[in-house]
Amino acid sequence: MSDILHLTKRKALPNWQIIMFALILSVSRAKNYQFYRTELFSTGNVNLAVNWSRKLGHKKDPQHPEETMQRTLQTMRDLKYVRFLDRGIYELTEIGILFIDKFREPLTALADGNLDTPSLIAKFRDLLSD
């Protein structure tokens, strides 16, 4: 199972959603949670996403990380975390902002590389059980 934070069949955080939220947090900080696809999918961010997937214990590197990221963004739209505003322009919804607020500490730790993998996963699990 690619979801390292799976707790029960009803409570799980897919690795790639965690990664996308961390990227969105990093590119949207000064923009009221609006972000541009070009920033989110920059080569540097794609490389970060692959590195973070390893840190979260993802079983293998995706062969096409941009496609994985795009699918994840579409899933996040379907889950009402993200809203498409215009071509290449997105924003977090109220639900997405609540998610970021709840998981801000471990998302930031992932982005900054401040925690080892077990500590990072423990932080997400603790917040999931709240």
Q: What is the pLDDT of residue 130?
A: 67
Q: b/e for 108-125, b at 16 or more Cβ within 10 A?
A: ebbbeeebeeeebbebbb
Confidence of residue 6 (pLDDT cuts 50, 70, 90): very low
How much is the average pLDDT of 87-98? 91
Tokens matching residue 31: 């923009």
CATH of domain 15-122: 1.10.10
Are 29 and 115 within 8 A, CB to CB? no
Cα separation of 92 and 3, whole Å? 22
Q: What is the pLDDT of residue 82?
A: 95
Residue 72, Ramachandran bin (φ over 0: left; ψ between -120 and 50: alpha; else beta): alpha
Cα separation of 39 and 26, whole Å? 10
φ, ψ for residue 35, nearest 5 deg: -150, 160
pTM of the model: 0.85
- Side chain identity at residue 127, one-letter code: L
* Mean pLDDT for the chain overall: 83
- Domain spans of the chain? 15-122
Cα separation of 127 and 43, whole Å? 31
